[in-house]
Structure 1
Amino acid sequence: MNLKNTIELMLSNDFKERFKAEYYQLNKRIAGLQGMLIKYRQGTLDFVPNCSYDLLHTQLVYMEAYRDILEERAKIENIDL
């Protein structure tokens, strides 16, 4: 799912729909950062990052932890992701 496909979910009055949008957006961003880090390690990025690999990797770790929390909440609140 791309980010623009989450707009309707984000604007919903139903918190479960907004929750799904947040989760889908986070997954998309995690995938993007993972791809960037692979290219960073390979030296194939088409730009020179200002941030170190380690800082970006730390960001990824926290994003993945946040996703884990959302998945646990989804189970508790009966939200089908």
Structure 2
Amino acid sequence: METYRQAELRDTVSLMNSTDYKERFKAEYMQVCVRYQKLKAMLDKWDEGKLNFQPTCPRGIYNFQIRAMADYISSLEARAAIEDIEL
């Protein structure tokens, strides 16, 4: 996931449109990493009392979401290793 720290969702468009499933897989991985990092940044700001808005969902929902995203990232990384997909 470290590789995609500066990536944006728009950076995945060409990969998502590829006919090669490995390229689409990379795009899927990049997208979830980007979303994870943005949610993590929001939660960090929340913890620091620096959010510029009031979340409408309870913190527990966000905690559940970020854990699920981390699990999904781990699943994709395991699958990539098995399928010989370089992330």
SS of the residue 1:64 aligns to: helix
Displacement after TM superposition at 1:39 (Å): 1.0
TM-score w.r.t. the length of structure 2 is: 0.89
Task: Report the residue type matching 2:40 in the other structure.
Answer: Q
Once the two structures are TM-superposed, the CA of residue 44 in structure 1 deviates from its matched residue by 1.2
Map 1:1-81 → 2, pairs under 5 A: 1-81=7-87
Q: Unmatched 5+ residue regions in structure 1?
A: none
- Aligned residue identity for 1:49: P
| Superposition RMSD in Å | 0.7
CA shift, 1:42, in A, is: 1.8
Instruction: Give yes or no for contact 1:9–1:21 (8 Å, CA) kept in 2.
Output: yes
Secondary structure of 2:54's match? Answer: coil
Moved over 2 A (4+): none
Report the TM-score, using the length of structure 1 for normalisation: 0.96
Deviation at 1:66, TM superposition (A): 0.4
